Chain A
Amino acid sequence: MTQGFLLFAHNNEEIDYALLAAWCARRIHNYLDKPVSLVADAATVARLGKYQVYFDKIIFSDVPLHQKRRYDTRFLNFNNYDRSSAWDLTPYDETMVIDTDIVIQSNVMNCVWNSNYNLMVCARSVDGYTNEIEEEFRVLNETSIKFYWATQFYFKKNSESEIFFKTCKWIRKNYIWLSRVYDIDPKLLRNDYIWSIAVHMLHCENTLPWTLLHSTYRSNVYNITDHNVILYKPGFGVRKIVKHDVHVMHKDDLIKLVKKEMELAND
């Protein structure tokens, strides 16, 4: 049984996902010691340069669909809709897919391998400051279904998990109609929403056995070292997160720190 991580990267006007993917892969090697494959478009792969060394395989995927979304004060294109094709693209029998903006500082993700479950999704991610789940990450809206993250998930490549990913693709195609069924904004096509609807429809509610921490765009990332992340949020102050994986949404801060870390890397 082959086991490995699968990352997705599609650069846009500003965000260098190639760099983030390389940095994430390097951390996977250091903390989890597993092979990493990358799914990316040709332009993003070209940006990788010497960092290709961190990847076991590079799988080309041109994304036909992208969406302009508000990011901080500007609008950027985000091309992350091939995540529903993870089952088709993965070279592994057991795959862990994670976002490239997760700061890995533990080996907790290694507990998924050889699981009895064919698919495990992320149900629980708490705010790094409050340790609580914000309302927007608990349910799609007050009267709708529960929220699940597409940020990280595990699957075995078999016919049962295939149904989940086929359902995700079907949801993407029928999103306008489903947005009415689930009472969500049809203009905002989010992988998390696609995942939430698929989990609800298929009752595949096996979840990853840990709590992810996250910091939103409203928090600045002050520093990242090998074993801690220092966040700053006006009104809340400084928070140091030690030896616990953190999903950092503030890409501007993250990329600055990632560049510094990768320049210092001596692999």
Chain B
Amino acid sequence: MTRGYLVMAQGDYVSQAECLAKSIVHSQSKITAISVITDGCPDEKLFDHVIKLPRDISGNSTWKIHNRVQFYELSPYDETVILDADMLFLTDISHWWTHMNTYELLLTNHVRDFRGDKVQQSPYRKTFLGNQLPNVYSAFAYFKKTPFVEEFFKLTENIICNWAEWIDRYAARPPQDFPSLDVAMAIAVKVLDCEHAVTTNRSYPSFTHMKSGCQGWKNYNEDWQQMLPHYVYNQQLKLGNYIQSGVLHYVKKDFATADVMRIFE
């Protein structure tokens, strides 16, 4: 059984996927394989497989979210964790695989703020709340290649490609006019009535979500770096007064600078 991480990187995201690969190799004790699906030219030495994107189904969309539904068919692994490119692995999470292995598909269902507290209310999740959709995140999701998971991804692709119709029926309060993999997966979970089978009550999988609205701040700038200083010291990353651990979804493209990447040297 092969295991590995899989990330999709188009355009600017290629360099972020490279940073992610470095962080995984540096921090993980067991699963260090990471493959990238891309239309660019990443540093091949950093990746287990560089997979050329066979079909671009995103049309004119600048946010190439549509292509992410191809994770299932393009994954070279028997067990895969899909990731967003703008993430860094800061400490070893190898033990998560033991738990994830007991599922066919496991979606993250809670995220944490920079203090490590569970995010209770997020201004970005109004569609989920308004339509009673399961609160799932695609930025860290585990799957095995099974008929059920194949069906799940096919349905997710259908939702992404026929966005207006699905939104009208399942997520109209308030309607979200741009496609989102999180919303599409949430609708798929609801349609297949499988929330109990694809989420867990455990504290992981989870990640630190650095969108400003997730930090519990009353008044905030959408660029969290304007609110919170970061420091690198002794191969650790501190955001404000908190040493970070686990998986960090830093969101802002200009965060993974050479200074931050010193952690992984």
Contacts and interface: CB of A to CB of B under 8 A. Distances in A.
Contacts of A143: 215, 217, 227-228, 240
B241 A135 contact: no
7 contacts: A138-B216, A139-B115, A142-B216, A144-B240, A146-B115, A181-B241, A200-B241
Which of B215, B218, B240 has the most chain A CB within a 10 Å cutoff?
A: B240
A123 to B, nearest CB: 11
B241 A144 contact: yes
Which of B115, B219, B228, B241 has the most chain A CB within a 10 Å cutoff?
A: B241
Residues of A contacting B: mostly: loop
Contacts of A144: 240-241
A142 B115 CA distance: 11
A117 interface: no
Interface string A142-169: 1111100000000000000000000000
Contacts of B240: 143-145
A184 to B, nearest CB: 11
Residues of B contacting A: mostly: loop
B112 to A, nearest CB: 13
A135 B218 contact: yes
A142 B241 contact: no
A198 B228 CA distance: 21
Contacts of B115: 139, 145-146
Contacts of B227: 142-143
Given A142-B216, A143-B217, 13 more contacts: A135-B218, A139-B216, A142-B217, A142-B218, A142-B220, A143-B227, A144-B240, A144-B241, A145-B241, A145-B242, A146-B115, A181-B241, A200-B241
Interface in B234-255: 240-242
A139 B115 CA distance: 10
Contacts of B219: 142
Nearest to B220: A142
Interface in B204-244: 215-220, 227-228, 240-242
A3 B215 CA distance: 41
Nearest to A144: B241
